[in-house]
Structure 1
Amino acid sequence: MDNQETWHSIKSLEKELQIPDTTLRRYIRQHGHHLNIKKNRKSYLVANESIPLLKKIRGLYVEGKSIENIETVLTNEGHPITITIDNHTESTALTLNESIEDIRNTLNSQMNEQKQIIQSLIQTIHEQQHYIEAKLEERDKHLIEALKENEEMKKQIAASQQKKWWQFWK
């Protein structure tokens, strides 16, 4: 944050923007996370860089937009969400958009890795299924051959016993 930043009080903004101070305070309460502000005892100070955004918020309310619609517009336009931390002498603004973007990128890469792992597992399952089906077919084929051989053997045994029995009486 630049130490040369110009900060404006609510009273000076009221005169400059011709927006009542109660309305400015409401904008800060509802949309302050999009504005670069710091609290000075019971009043707020607004950074010079946030004045165009206050004008935009005012314009959106004049158009009849709701709080939720305005939040959506501000978020979609990529206005940085800032948190101001007061360390007694120096205030530091942290931008969350970079952190959110990093988290989003990390999640996307993890999601892509998970998709690849899932595809690999699906491929392995398909290969195992084909292997099992082939083994079952082979087993069934051997079983049928064994049954046929067994049946053939029974017929041969029955035929040889039948011959012997008939030959025995002759």
Structure 2
Amino acid sequence: MELEASIEAFWPSPPDWEALSERAASALAQLAPELANPRLSASILFTGDAEVHALNAEWRGKDKPTNVLSFPMLEREDLLNLALEGPPELLGDIALALETCTREAADKGISLEHHAAHLIVHGLLHLAGHDHVTSPEDARAMESLEIKALAQMGIADPYGDHDET
């Protein structure tokens, strides 16, 4: 999968947010092979609460910022049936809000980098059609993929209550 990252100047540096996004996508592609399709592309916008608030209000009818938004462009069935050969396909777009992410990371006692990695993995799974709202089973399956992908990146279980092997 090809990722295009757009990083607003107010996101702190280091780390290299684009490299982090690539690492997250690579780790996830090992666990969710549909995301390893070379035809796929996705964009990640590292922005602030104001922009995410506006997107959340416009597209989800929620008048508040949130940590991450995902805007899938393919249905899960279409993604699973996507041939390896052919023209590029946009998987979707992700937006992360710095202020909310920073506050959540501080509340959890983890680095912004690790929290952002989790949210990138989480957002990519949403783009691939995974959901944690539809049922407890779906939530557990999605969380399991998140935990395993983050473990490959050397990042601890963000939920803190799982024993994944």
**Superposed pair shares fold, TM > 0.5:** no
**TM-score when normalising by structure 1:** 0.25
Greater helix fraction, Structure 1 or Structure 2: 1
**TM-score when normalising by structure 2:** 0.26
The structure with higher relative contact order (CA 8 Å, sep 6+) is 2
